[in-house]
Amino acid sequence: MSAASQRLPIDARVLRWGIAWGLAVTLAEALIVARGSALDSGAHAVGWLLLWMAPSWSLTGCLFVAAIVPAEARFGRLGVAAAWLGVSVVAALVYVSISSATWHWLERSAFAGVAASLGASAWLATPLVSDALLAYHTWTNLFFGGLLATALTFDLRAERTRSLLHAAGRARARAATLVNEAQFEAIRAQVDPRDLVETLREVRTRYALDPVAAEALLDRLVNFLRAAIAGLRQSESTLAAELDVAAALGDLQAERGLPHAWRIGARPDGLEGIAFPPRALLPVLALGRNDCNPSLEVTCDAPGIVRLVARGLATVPPQVVHRLRAQLASVAASASVQCTTSDGQVGLVVELA
């Protein structure tokens, strides 16, 4: 889970979930198990009422939460299952041991008669019912603990999604404060903020229907933001890094199911050492047609010559070509930018030497 997430402290979560679960189990036990004895004898009712003063179920619930939260964060569902089973058995053994010791103490104390009149043998581990009480508590822990584990797991996943959304929002805000106004206006011209807003809205919509799909889309969004923002403070970049940004954008569009998702072709070796203007490809990617899958391919036609071919563009404004040429001239000894038309599709060819 992200360190930037504003998560409820684990001690507060343990107390809130554990006590609520303990009270619910105590109520269920009083209504189901003690119903007959409570109707037959007022003394038995008093004995069961005393159970509300003993926080055994609430302590068990706190132990469940304290074990499940770190196990889920580290091992996922397997960790939750292991914590659930382990706490169910251990808590039952501890409860029966303490209950049995309490019964033996009452037998030897001056309160033996009072305990018998209150029906203490019905809710303490006497020698006759010790094994049955162990089985009963183990089953209760497994059943109600399973419900707690399921509800807590869904809550942790929902919190993780909220944390990722918060982290993505903070990343955008941090980018706006780290760059000057000219750089920020440049990135806004390259990445339409409306697309980011639509993506976040789609994440929330997906989460209500399919949390797994929502997390997958959110991962794609965070990856793209990290790749796009990483070069804002850098005056130099490489062709490999710029293709990483293009690939992250294509993955995000494909995850959203957009018809104009960019397809990035296979890369030849050695692109890490080729200088390229930072974020110069984003304005080109913004020109993709909405009715087809535009593509970007990189080839090495000759030693020292790299060609980038973008196909499936809606149009190529002259200012985009002029700006790209000026940017390439600052990092490449020889570069050319040409518009092409083939099979009714507009393309852009960039050659670096």
- 5 domain residue, yes or no: no
Instruction: Say if strands 295-302 and 305-313 run parallel, antiparallel, or are unpaired.
Output: antiparallel
CB count within 10 Å of CB 94 equals 15
Judgement on whether residues 123 and 184 belong to the same structural domain of the protein: no
Per-residue pLDDT for 57 more than 80? yes
Greater pLDDT, 174 or 52: 174
Per-residue pLDDT for 224 more than 60? yes
Judgement on whether residues 56 and 202 belong to the same structural domain of the protein: no
Judgement on whether residues 204 and 334 belong to the same structural domain of the protein: yes
- 200 domain residue, yes or no: yes
The full 3-state SS of the chain, as one line of letters, equals CCCCCCCCCHHHHHHHHHHHHHHHHHHHHHHHCCHHHHHHCHHHHHHHHHHCCCCHHHHHHHHHHHHHHHHHHHHCHHHHHHHHHHHHHHHHHHHHHHHHHHHHHHHHCCCHHHHHHCCHHHCCCCCCCHHHHHHHHHHHHHHHHHHHHHHHHHHHHHHHHHHHHHHHHHHHHHHHHHCCHHHHHHHHHHCCHHHHHHHHHHHHHHHHHCHHHHHHHHHHHHHHHHHHHHCCCCCCEEHHHHHHHHHHHHHHHHHHCCCCCCEECCCCCCHHHCEECCCCCHHHHCCECCCCCCEEEEEEEECCEEEEEEEEECCCCHHHHHHHHHHHHCCCCCEEEEEEEECCEEEEEEEEC
Judgement on whether residues 155 and 185 belong to the same structural domain of the protein: no
pLDDT at residue 5 in the model: 39
Q: How confident is the model at residue 243 (pLDDT cuts 50, 70, 90)?
A: confident
- 1 domain residue, yes or no: no
- 169 domain residue, yes or no: no
pLDDT at residue 67 in the model: 92
Euclidean distance between CA atoms 144 and 292, whole angstroms? 53
Name the residue type at position 175: A
Judgement on whether residues 137 and 198 belong to the same structural domain of the protein: no
Judgement on whether residues 100 and 187 belong to the same structural domain of the protein: no
Q: Quick one: 269 exposed, middle or buried, by C-beta within 10 A (0-12, 13-18, 19+)?
A: exposed
CA–CA distances in Å: residue 232 to residues 123, 184, 266, 276, 277:
68, 9, 26, 14, 11
Choose one of 98, 128, 159: the last residue of a domain.
159
- 3 domain residue, yes or no: no
Q: How confident is the model at residue 39 (pLDDT cuts 50, 70, 90)?
A: very low
Choose one of 131, 159, 187: the last residue of a domain.
159
Judgement on whether residues 148 and 192 belong to the same structural domain of the protein: no
Mean pLDDT value of segment 46-60 = 67
CB count within 10 Å of CB 106 equals 19
Q: Which of 167-171, 202-206, 322-326 has the lowest mean pLDDT?
A: 167-171
Judgement on whether residues 319 and 279 belong to the same structural domain of the protein: yes
Judgement on whether residues 136 and 262 belong to the same structural domain of the protein: no
- 348 domain residue, yes or no: yes
Euclidean distance between CA atoms 1 and 28, whole angstroms? 35
- 26 domain residue, yes or no: yes
Choose one of 94, 129, 159: the last residue of a domain.
159
Q: How confident is the model at residue 58 (pLDDT cuts 50, 70, 90)?
A: confident
Judgement on whether residues 151 and 185 belong to the same structural domain of the protein: no
Judgement on whether residues 139 and 257 belong to the same structural domain of the protein: no
CATH classification of the domain holding 235 = 3.30.565
Euclidean distance between CA atoms 331 and 66, whole angstroms? 56
Which of 329, 220, 221, 224 has its CA nearest to residue 282? 224
Mean pLDDT value of segment 173-184 = 54
Which residues are paired to 313 by β-bridges? 288, 346
Q: How confident is the model at residue 192 (pLDDT cuts 50, 70, 90)?
A: low
pLDDT at residue 4 in the model: 39
Mean pLDDT estimate for the chain = 76
Judgement on whether residues 121 and 44 belong to the same structural domain of the protein: yes
Q: Which domain holds residue 293?
A: 179-352
- 333 domain residue, yes or no: yes
Is the CB of residue 138 less than 8 Å from the CB of residue 192?
A: no
Split into its structural domains, the chain has a count of 2
